Amino acid sequence: MREISYAEAVRECLRQQMQADDKVFMIGEDVGLYGGAFGVSVGLIAEFGEDKIMDTPISEQGIVGIAIGASLLGMRPVVEMMFSDFTMLPLEQIANQAGKMRYMFGGKAKVPIVIRTPGGGGIGIAAQHSQSIEALFLHFPGLKVVMPSTPYDVKGLLASSIKDDNPVMFFEHKLLYPTRADVPEEPYLIPLGKADIKREGSDITVVATSFMVQKSLKVAEKLSGEGISVEVVDPRTIKPLDIGLIAGSVKKTGRALLVEEACYTGGFTCYLASEIAKHCFDFLDAPVLRVTGLDCPIPYEHNLENAVIPDEARIEKGIKEVLG
């Protein structure tokens, strides 16, 4: 199997889905000639033309509005929102319109729209371009929320998201784009709502999302040399959530540490901790702990940014605290 990057896996999926279905198209700021803010769509406009790769004015409300309208007429738009922070501009359209229309029309209207967007910090672009706001979208019925952590997962999950008849928020961490792994060339699907055990272990379960999965795997490898067996679970989609697999892992190990980059207050792991308490209470040998970003805007300065975002040292400390 050949090795490609996370960004290349996204591009390959987009190409394959547009080749297979004339209803699939891409729309966003600078996605055409420029190839997107992170180069994901480089070359696609030369292959598919401006009717399939649509550059837009700088209007997030306009982009999402066009995509919702197109989806209601049978198209399958893939929106690229340049930074996840910008999804707060069309939030009314996403949460009140796209998320509710299928329900309000008794299932007769479908809104098969995917909003791809880079989230997270770590590259020095400050407080308005580095947030992890995925938990915001958990609150709105009708939306699905996907957070792939590997090149293999991002291709299969994006394909499933494009084929889904519901609106999908699809978060791609900026620092994952250059990561490389084995990815099949042929199209394939990974079902939404199915978690994955990235590393098996017996002493503690670490549930991590997005780029935190990669950091948690490094810590697990390090601690294996100290005789600590860490199981790393990646939800992959945080809505719908595969609580069955996660709870099964926690019941096996008896301990859980939850890791996310988002701010401590109101993050996804708040909800996850509640679900683990509900499903695993009698199996827990220690309180469930969380390692998260600080309740602070992401600083521009490199050292301060790194202090806000969870690193391997904080994850290791959390694991050892749960283990006692």
- Which of 129, 139, 173, 302 is catalytic? The answer is 129
- Any idea of the CA torsion for 87, 89, 90, 94, to the nearest 10 degrees? 50
Across the beta sheet with 24-28, the strand order is 53-55, 24-28, 76-80, 114-119, 168-173, 144-146, 237-239
What is the length of the chain?
A: 324
Helix (H, G, I), strand (E, B) or coil at 291: strand
Q: Does residue 133 contact residue 85 with C-beta atoms inside 8 Å? A: yes
> E-strand spans in 142-285?
144-146, 168-173, 180-182, 196-199, 204-208, 230-234, 237-239, 256-263
302 carries an active-site annotation? no
Residues labelled as active-site residues: 129
